Structure 1
């Protein structure tokens, strides 16, 4: 813009000089000499040729394109799933030596426990499992509260035979009488109040005054009659009653408080299931 104004000003001067040449003749001759015109023209040309530096425009650098940031998605926690056959319990459940409540209790598993399955019942809702508390322990688990996985290849197992618990024996014992015959004997009446036969007996009798104690064990049952021992009765069936003789004491127990402990068993040699009872009496 400044350059253009300068050129216009010089051009205006040149025009004035040229007009001066046309003034009336009576005016003093002011016609510019050729040298003056040439000088003016050269000045305009020189000014026109001068290069006025143009102020450099600021350089704008484009920023790099924005790359959208991918939203962070948290990785779900890894939960391992057992590859073996197993069941998970919705309620606490007992585990037994066999597939019925009549079998002995082995363990009780809590709600939510995962239990390895190694076998199944042929037709009933029972699983043969390994205890998560002890890897060497196995038992039968009722499947009512169990939800399983990977059970397709679980083998069918033959369960143990149905367990029938043997009823505990029971009996009543009552003092009958006492007598003397090569010692002082005492007779006690035994009644089998249970449902299983009784086959052996132990009687331990004590004189609480003299502290004398005598003990005797027999297979079968035997009484005394007129100082003669009866034949052995091998067993005492359910509901049967038999009077037995206790081992003889050396001293007369008359008027003394005696204590007799009787133990009866379902097998000979004090085997099977045994039960005991103690009675006190004064002959």
Structure 2
């Protein structure tokens, strides 16, 4: 067994377990509406009054008698509880081997830094073939560079990573 790949395999296994636990543990909580005690008491009183009125015998006379009726009361309706939308995990990249971070998406561009195994960087953009990825330079925050995807593992929703226009290719120096 290749001992150089063992830490990577352990890292990937832990990352996979973490992601699966995160997605399996998604719990969208909604607020359970509680009954208004006043509403319940009004409903019970109305039911008892209606039973008393319907059970009480009335004497029929030639004159019509007027019976008091219970007026319905307005009840407060419960508004549906809005839940916050689930935000997909931001797209990021990690590498299995030391990977140069260059000024543009080609080995012809100047090296600006590197992405090392175990480091993760947020994806800012991609080239048209999705073989080079635009990230913030881990060595110099605030500066951006391109890493080759050959040794990369992509994480999260990469479909949202925008196409990024690279700088013009460097001019070859005649020597």
Higher strand share: 1
Between the two structures, name the one with larger relative contact order (CA 8 Å, sep ≥ 6).
Answer: 2
* TM-score range for the pair, normalised by the shorter chain length: 0.3 to 0.5
Higher helix share: 2
* TM-score, structure 1 normalization: 0.30
Larger radius of gyration: 1
